C-alpha cells in the first residue's frame, strides 16, 4: 500500500503533545511533551497542546489542570491549545464524508455477538478482529458503530527513530472508528486533528506504535497525507520494567512538591532516551535546544534513576545565585517562617548560603533550618557525646559560655568563635566538646558545624541557647 507522506517535512514543523486527562501528569508524558517542544523550537516550528478528552467518563478537568500546571512549571509553552471535546462538529464532518464515500460503514453486530466472536478467535489462537459482512450491504442503515473497511495488504512506514516498520493489515480486520457520527474513537479523532492542525511530525511514546497503522489507513481512506512518525522509547524503572508507582513518584507535580528545580528536571528528563553525542550532562534549555535532534534518540528503554535526578538537582542548586536560592527555598517553608523571612531576608540568605551544598531537594530545607526560627527542644541525653557523662557535657558547655562571653558582639564571626574554642576542643576531644555545642544550638543530631551557626544566630542568641542547655544538664 502506498502512503502519501507530507512533503513539507523539513520546514517549519508543527508538532503536538496530545495527553488524555485521565490521570495525574506522568513523567513519561512530560518527556514526550519536552521532546516535541524541543523539536519545534530547534526547527523554528510550532508546538500544539491538544487535550484528548473525547472519553467523557475517564476524562477529568482536574487532570487537565494538572497537565497544564505541570507544563507551566517546566516552562514548556505551547503555541496553540485545544480540546477535542470542543471539536465534535469537525469529526462529524469527516465521519459523514468517509461514510458517504463508503470507506466506512455502520456495523450492526451486538456487543454480545462481538464478544462471542472474540472468545472463539482466542480459543482458536487467531488474532481477535472483526471482519464485518455489513460492509457489503447495499443499504447500510444507520445504527450500531462505525467501522473502517479493512484491507489484507501489508503496510510499511519509516519511523524516524525505529526505522522501517511493517504491519500486516489483515490482522486488524475492520477497525471501529466511532460510536456514532458525533462520537469518534481515539484513532479517528487523532487523524482528523493531526490533519486539521497541519501536524508534520508525530512524536509520541512507543506504546502508540500499534496505533500507527490504524491511523494511516484512516488517513488513506480520507485522502489525507500522513505526518512523519517518531516513536520514543519507554521510561523504565531501575528493574527495567515499565515505570510505575512501584518505583516511586511518577507524577510531575510530586516532583515539584518535593522541591526539584524545573530546569534540573528538564535536564534530567531530556537525557531519558536522548544524549547530545558528547559527555556533557549539565545543559541549560538553550543549549539542549541547540543540540537536540531526533536522530540522537535511542531505541531502547530509558531507565529513570532517582539518584541521577538528585545529582542533577544538587548541581543546579549549587549554581543558583544566593538571592534566588533563598527566594526559592523560602517557598517551601511554613507560613509563620515565611513571615519571619520577609522581615529579615538577609538572615535567611546567610542561612541558605550555609545550607546550599547540603540541599538535594527544597522540601528538606524545612527540617534542616527550623532551629533558626524557633528554640530547639531536645532531651538531655542528646547533649551528651557518645560514652561521655552528663557532667562532662556540662563542663564543656560552661567552658564554651565562658569563652564566648568574652567576644564582642560585633566580632562574633565563624572564625572568632572557632578561635575562642578550638584549643579547648583539641585538648578535651573535638567530639566531646563540639557535639554538645552543636546540639545546644540546633537540637539536631546532624547539622553543619556549630561555628557558622553561631555566627548566624549572633552572640546573644548563641549564649541564650547555651545557657538553656546548661539548665537542662543541671536538671
- Binding residues for ligand GLU (CB under 6 A): 18-20, 52, 190, 204, 208
d(CA 283, CA 234): 23
Residue of 381, 385, 378 lying closest to 442 (CA atoms): 378
Write down the least CB distance from residue 82 to ligand GLU, Å: 13
Residue of 299, 14, 11 lying closest to 160 (CA atoms): 299
Write down the least CB distance from residue 208 to ligand GLU, Å: 5
CB closer to ligand GLU, 52 vs 103 = 52
Q: Residue 436 to residues 375, 391, 445, 464: CA-CA distances in angstroms?
A: 15, 12, 10, 14
Length of the chain: 475
Write down the least CB distance from residue 469 to ligand GLU, Å: 58
CB closer to ligand GLU, 16 vs 394 = 16
CB closer to ligand GLU, 18 vs 441 = 18
Element housing 160 (H / E): none
d(CA 235, CA 271): 11
CB closer to ligand GLU, 208 vs 465 = 208
- Residue reference for cell 512523519: 228
d(CA 270, CA 217): 32
Write down the least CB distance from residue 178 to ligand GLU, Å: 16
Cβ neighbours, 10 Å, residue 474? 9
d(CA 406, CA 221): 90
CB closer to ligand GLU, 14 vs 208 = 208
> Cell numbers of 350, please?
546567610
Write down the least CB distance from residue 349 to ligand GLU, Å: 43
CB closer to ligand GLU, 19 vs 452 = 19
> Cell numbers of 18, please?
496530545
Q: Cβ contacts of residue 357 below 8 Å, gap of 6+?
A: 318
d(CA 63, CA 57): 13
Write down the least CB distance from residue 252 to ligand GLU, Å: 14
CB closer to ligand GLU, 203 vs 441 = 203
Write down the least CB distance from residue 210 to ligand GLU, Å: 12
Q: Cβ contacts of residue 194 below 8 Å, gap of 6+?
A: 16, 202, 215, 227
- Residue reference for cell 540522537: 296
Q: Cβ contacts of residue 458 below 8 Å, gap of 6+?
A: 409, 412
CB closer to ligand GLU, 53 vs 455 = 53
Q: Cβ contacts of residue 72 below 8 Å, gap of 6+?
A: none
CB closer to ligand GLU, 232 vs 337 = 232
Write down the least CB distance from residue 310 to ligand GLU, Å: 28
Q: Cβ contacts of residue 348 below 8 Å, gap of 6+?
A: 326, 329, 330, 341
d(CA 28, CA 245): 12
Write down the least CB distance from residue 204 to ligand GLU, Å: 4
Write down the least CB distance from residue 5 to ligand GLU, Å: 17
CB closer to ligand GLU, 95 vs 232 = 232
Amino acid at each position: 500500500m502506498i502512503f502519501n507522506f507530507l512533503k513539507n517535512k523539513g520546514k517549519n514543523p508543527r508538532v503536538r503533545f496530545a495527553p488524555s486527562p485521565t490521570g495525574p501528569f506522568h513523567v513519561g508524558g512530560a518527556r514526550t511533551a519536552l521532546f516535541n517542544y524541543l523539536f519545534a523550537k530547534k526547527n523554528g516550528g510550532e508546538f500544539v497542546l491538544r487535550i484528548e478528552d473525547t472519553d467523557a467518563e475517564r476524562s477529568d478537568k482536574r487532570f487537565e489542570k494538572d497537565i497544564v500546571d505541570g507544563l507551566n512549571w517546566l516552562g514548556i509553552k505551547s503555541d496553540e491549545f485545544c480540546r477535542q471535546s470542543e471539536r465534535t462538529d469537525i469529526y462529524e464532518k469527516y465521519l459523514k464524508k468517509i461514510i458517504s464515500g463508503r470507506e466506512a460503514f455502520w456495523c450492526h453486530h451486538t456487543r454480545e455477538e462481538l464478544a462471542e466472536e472474540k472468545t472463539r478467535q482466542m480459543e482458536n489462537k487467531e488474532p481477535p478482529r472483526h471482519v464485518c459482512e455489513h460492509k457489503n450491504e447495499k443499504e447500510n442503515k444507520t445504527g450500531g458503530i462505525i467501522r473502517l473497511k479493512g484491507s489484507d495488504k501489508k503496510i510499511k512506514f519509516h519511523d524516524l527513530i525505529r526505522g522501517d516498520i511493517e504491519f500486516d493489515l489483515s490482522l486488524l480486520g475492520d477497525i471501529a472508528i466511532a460510536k456514532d457520527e458525533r462520537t469518534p474513537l481515539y484513532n479517528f479523532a487523532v487523524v482528523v486533528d493531526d490533519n486539521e492542525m497541519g501536524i508534520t511530525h508525530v512524536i509520541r511514546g512507543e506504546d502508540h506504535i500499534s496505533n500507527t497503522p490504524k491511523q494511516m489507513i484512516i488517513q488513506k481512506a480520507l485522502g489525507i497525507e500522513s505526518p512523519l512518525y517518531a516513536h520514543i522509547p519507554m521510561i523504565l524503572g531501575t528493574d527495567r520494567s515499565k515505570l510505575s508507582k512501584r518505583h516511586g513518584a511518577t507524577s510531575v507535580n510530586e516532583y515539584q512538591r518535593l522541591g526539584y528545580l524545573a530546569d534540573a528536571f528538564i535536564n534530567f528528563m531530556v537525557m531519558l532516551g536522548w544524549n547530545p553525542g558528547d559527555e556533557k550532562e549539565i545543559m541549560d534549555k538553550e543549549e539542549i535546544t541547540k543540540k537536540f535532534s531526533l536522530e540522537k534518540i535511542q531505541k531502547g528503554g530509558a531507565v529513570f534513576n532517582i539518584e541521577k535526578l538528585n545529582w542533577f538537582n544538587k548541581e543546579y542548586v549549587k549554581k543558583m545565585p544566593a538571592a534566588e536560592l533563598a527566594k526559592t527555598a523560602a517557598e517551601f517553608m511554613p507560613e509563620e517562617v515565611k513571615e519571619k523571612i520577609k522581615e529579615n531576608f538577609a538572615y535567611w540568605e546567610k542561612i541558605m548560603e550555609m545550607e546550599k551544598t547540603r540541599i538535594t531537594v527544597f522540601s528538606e530545607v524545612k527540617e534542616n533550618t527550623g532551629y533558626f526560627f524557633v528554640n530547639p527542644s531536645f532531651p538531655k541525653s542528646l547533649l551528651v557525646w557518645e560514652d561521655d557523662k552528663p557532667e562532662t557535657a556540662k563542663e564543656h558547655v560552661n567552658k564554651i559560655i565562658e569563652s564566648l562571653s568574652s567576644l564582642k558582639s560585633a566580632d562574633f564571626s565563624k572564625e572568632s568563635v572557632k578561635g575562642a574554642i578550638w584549643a579547648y576542643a583539641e585538648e578535651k576531644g573535638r567530639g566531646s566538646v563540639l557535639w554538645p555545642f552543636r546540639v545546644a544550638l540546633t537540637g539536631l543530631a546532624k547539622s553543619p558545624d556549630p561555628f557558622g551557626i553561631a555566627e548566624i544566630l549572633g552572640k546573644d542568641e548563641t549564649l541564650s541557647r547555651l545557657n538553656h542547655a546548661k539548665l537542662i544538664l543541671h536538671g
